[in-house]
Structure 1
Amino acid sequence: MTAAKKVAVVGTGVSGLAAAIQLAKGGVAVDVFEAHHELTSVGSGISLQGNALRAFEELGVWEEARDAGFPFDGMGLRAPGPEAPAIARMKDGEHPQTGLPSAMGMPRAELTRILYEHAVRAGAHVKFGRRVVDLINHEDSVEVILEADSAGRYDLLIGADGIHSTVRSAMGIESGPERTGMGIWRAFVSRPAEVECTELYYGGPCYIAGYTPTGHDSMYAFLVSDAQDHFDMRPDDAAQLVIEQSRGYGGPWEQVRADLTAGAAQVNYTWFTKHVVPGQWNRGRAVIIGDAAHSCPPTIAQGAAQGLEDALVLTELFLAHSAVDQDLWDQFHQRRVERAAAIVNASVQLAEWQRDGEDHSSDVPQLLASVAQRVAVPA
């Protein structure tokens, strides 16, 4: 008998839908509450490392994700400048046990769609336009409060509603995302044939420039610089700003600028944030996972992967335990809090090294190697 027979999930992001899939497959009745009136996906493309791909395989979505994305091996480094010469090409090889590639890019909307379809197919009920505003913990259940009424009592409430989590606030947790001082432009563009993996340019007009292939004909390009208030810019003004900021980068960036000039690219802007909720991520029978519990700059491309790990560890424990007790919560926090915090700290450190203007050429490979070694071991 599982610890939870009826579970509420808040949010249709990666971690929420992953939790819904696993619980529904395990025979649990799952209601997913989404404030928006339809499936949405913020951003353009997403970079996924090996531990995210292992999670896809566990969820049973790997083949569809692979077909909707662009698997590749390792990454490349280029120098800024008009010629954009390649200076390194690092390959990790396939995972020795699973045979999965070391990395992949894909459109965020496609990932959300695939996870949503699998959650529904497994039996989860997704309720759009239902905003959760509060919760009430009872001794043996948690009550979910919507804007207009109560949605009823559940054995468990999983808050997977992002960095500005309403569930986190309703739980009385004051810790939340802090700005790091950096921001990122992302543009969803066509993929030149020469782009076969993530390539990064360090230095030049921005701290970091780069792109990740997301499909046979698509990729997303990005520029990282000091945080600015660009959120209200008109689409054509945003595209022009990215064109100007990227002129110090040649090679495939020529095609990026051509797409932007032609109006054939989606552009969005976000700030980097960081946070890890200290101590326990649950209050009674309500728990937060994913960006609600921790967020980090995308410098190591581990945000979605860590949310997937949260979901898989949590659902594994709930399906294996017969009661929602302190032992269950202790196991969950032991497996997740320190690991997530280490990833957040490494991501923030890499971002800070970009800003301080000092030479960290010997530090960066060591940091990346330590993260790769950590995430190679299942959570």
Structure 2
Amino acid sequence: MSTPRTVLVVGGGAAGNAVTILLRRAGLDVDLIEAEADWNATAGSGITLQGNALRVLRELGVWQRVKESGFGFGSVGITAPDGTVLHVVRDLRTGGDDLPATVGMQRPHLQQILIDAVRAGGASVRLGTRAESLEQDGDGVCVRFTDGTEGRYDLVIAADGLGSTTRAAIGITDRPEPTGMAIWRTAAPRPAGVVRTDLAYGGPAYIAGYCPTSDTTLYAYVVEASRDRASIPPETYADEMRRLASAYGGFWPEITEHITDPAKVNYTWFDRLLVEGAWHRGRVVLVGDAAHCCPPTLAQGAALSLEDAWVLARMLTEAGTWDDALFQAYYERRVHRVRAVVEASVQIGQWQLDGVRDADVPGLMGRTMTMLRDLP
């Protein structure tokens, strides 16, 4: 059997963009569809990229732009609610010693860098388009799109996120489950003294933290118990986040004075998902948040998605035949690493929800991050 050459990627986020870039570089024909008409509309405020994410971004050929756009640092500070620094921990360089431990970035900037690389690679991109139906046989997938067109592909890669409609369409019944926590996020100007992530535990929220995202910007976040989202009118988002953040000292007063526009504040529940058994049905394969997600307590969500894309692309381009055995091998190569991160991320939050004061958070974080130094 000849190697299949046509791929449809559903979803233009980090995982979808990354796998598109890599497969096009290998010479495969790739169509990418994205449901949003504005490809960068939902990119969000900021993102923390640890070394294992940077390692993949380097493989994508975008590391120099990421480095220039973001803010690199190598430690995290633990503070009291009043801003007193209690401890500073060196971050592990999970991408190797030749990359920073961590880079903070504005999410829209990262998304634009990946968009530019997708377009430069020559993939066919259609925005504002969804896969309406999928019909498989032994050799491929026939896809009908919402614009009335159809296409046939040797493989469909579902990178359409946490609420993946593709996952449901192929009969995978796993769904994200809320963990009981939620996060307020916003972008703000960076005070000159903010040169790393600082995390305050205690006060009116479980965590109050910030991460520098450029020489002039940061993103700030406050984690609390999840509320009924319907009970929080969007026009009050800035007021709600400012109310929680105003209890914290140090750099927080300077940050808080910029939390004024509710349209720039995001409120999101923490979810957990890990699809078990296989991440494919026939010739439709899941990557990224469509297959797994975890709370950002270890800042590994985007990194795991990028790793999925890198691993899957390598396996596809190195294999002579695409079949169930290959797709199952992809799952087995990824699931143990992903499971460790998902479970650790959820556990850290659960300890806080349960009020466990002697939890070994540093030990769990250290073991998990050490594991991530290995190549995926």
Structure 2: how far apart are the matches of 1:250 and 1:38? 38
Name the counterpart of 1:354: 352
Name the counterpart of 1:12: 12
Partner SS state of residue 373, structure 1: helix
Name the counterpart of 1:101: 100
Structure 2: how far apart are the matches of 1:5 and 1:267? 42
Name the counterpart of 1:311: 309
CA contact (8 A) 1:42 1:108 kept: yes
Unaligned 5+ segments in structure 1 are: none
1:297 counterpart = 2:298: no
1:208 to 1:5, Cα distance in 2 relative to 1, 3 A: same
What number of residue pairs does the alignment pair up? Answer: 375
Name the counterpart of 1:145: 144
> Which structure 2 residues correspond to residues 101-120 of structure 1 after superposition, within 5 A?
101-120=100-119
> Which structure 2 residues correspond to residues 336-375 of structure 1 after superposition, within 5 A?
336-361=334-359, 363-375=360-372
Structure 2: how far apart are the matches of 1:96 and 1:378? 8
Structure 2: how far apart are the matches of 1:148 and 1:59? 31
Structure 2: how far apart are the matches of 1:2 and 1:41? 39
CA contact (8 A) 1:2 1:319 kept: no
- Deviation at residue 61 of structure 1 after TM alignment: 0.7
CA contact (8 A) 2:222 2:245 kept: yes
**Higher deviation after alignment, 145-154 or 309-318:** 145-154
Name the counterpart of 1:91: 90
Structure 2: how far apart are the matches of 1:226 and 1:349? 15
- Deviation at residue 133 of structure 1 after TM alignment: 2.4
Unaligned 5+ segments in structure 2 are: none
Structure 1: how far apart are the matches of 2:307 and 2:42? 20
Name the counterpart of 2:184: 185
Structure 1: how far apart are the matches of 2:160 and 2:187? 24
Q: TM-score when scaled to structure 2? A: 0.95
Name the counterpart of 2:70: 69
CA contact (8 A) 1:187 1:265 kept: no
- Deviation at residue 235 of structure 1 after TM alignment: 5.5
Partner SS state of residue 257, structure 2: helix
Letter in 2 for 1:371: T
Structure 2: how far apart are the matches of 1:128 and 1:265? 24
- After superposition, what is the alpha-carbon deviation per residue over 1:320-350, rounded to whole angstroms, capped at 9, x for unaligned? 0111123312321121112111111110000
CA contact (8 A) 1:161 1:291 kept: yes
Partner SS state of residue 12, structure 1: coil
Letter in 2 for 1:56: L
**Higher deviation after alignment, 234-243 or 298-307:** 234-243
Partner SS state of residue 58, structure 2: helix
Structure 1: how far apart are the matches of 2:143 and 2:75? 44
Q: RMSD value over aligned CA atoms?
A: 1.8
1:304 to 1:367, Cα distance in 2 relative to 1, 3 A: same
- After superposition, what is the alpha-carbon deviation per residue over 1:69-125, rounded to whole angstroms, capped at 9, x for unaligned? 1111021111112xx100111123657955100011101111111111101111111
Partner SS state of residue 287, structure 1: strand
- After superposition, what is the alpha-carbon deviation per residue over 1:290-340, rounded to whole angstroms, capped at 9, x for unaligned? 001001100000000000011000000000011112331232112111211
- After superposition, what is the alpha-carbon deviation per residue over 1:200-238, rounded to whole angstroms, capped at 9, x for unaligned? 011111011100110111101001011113468555521
Partner SS state of residue 358, structure 1: coil
- Deviation at residue 375 of structure 1 after TM alignment: 0.6
Partner SS state of residue 259, structure 1: coil
CA contact (8 A) 1:161 1:167 kept: yes
Letter in 1 for 2:75: G
Letter in 1 for 2:374: V
> Which structure 2 residues correspond to residues 270-281 of structure 1 after superposition, within 5 A?
270-281=268-279
Structure 1: how far apart are the matches of 2:202 and 2:262? 27
- Deviation at residue 257 of structure 1 after TM alignment: 1.3
**Higher deviation after alignment, 227-236 or 308-317:** 227-236
1:58 to 1:198, Cα distance in 2 relative to 1, 3 A: same
**Higher deviation after alignment, 230-239 or 305-314:** 230-239
CA contact (8 A) 1:189 1:265 kept: no
Letter in 2 for 1:226: A
Name the counterpart of 1:378: 375
Partner SS state of residue 260, structure 1: coil
1:269 to 1:47, Cα distance in 2 relative to 1, 3 A: same
Name the counterpart of 1:254: 253
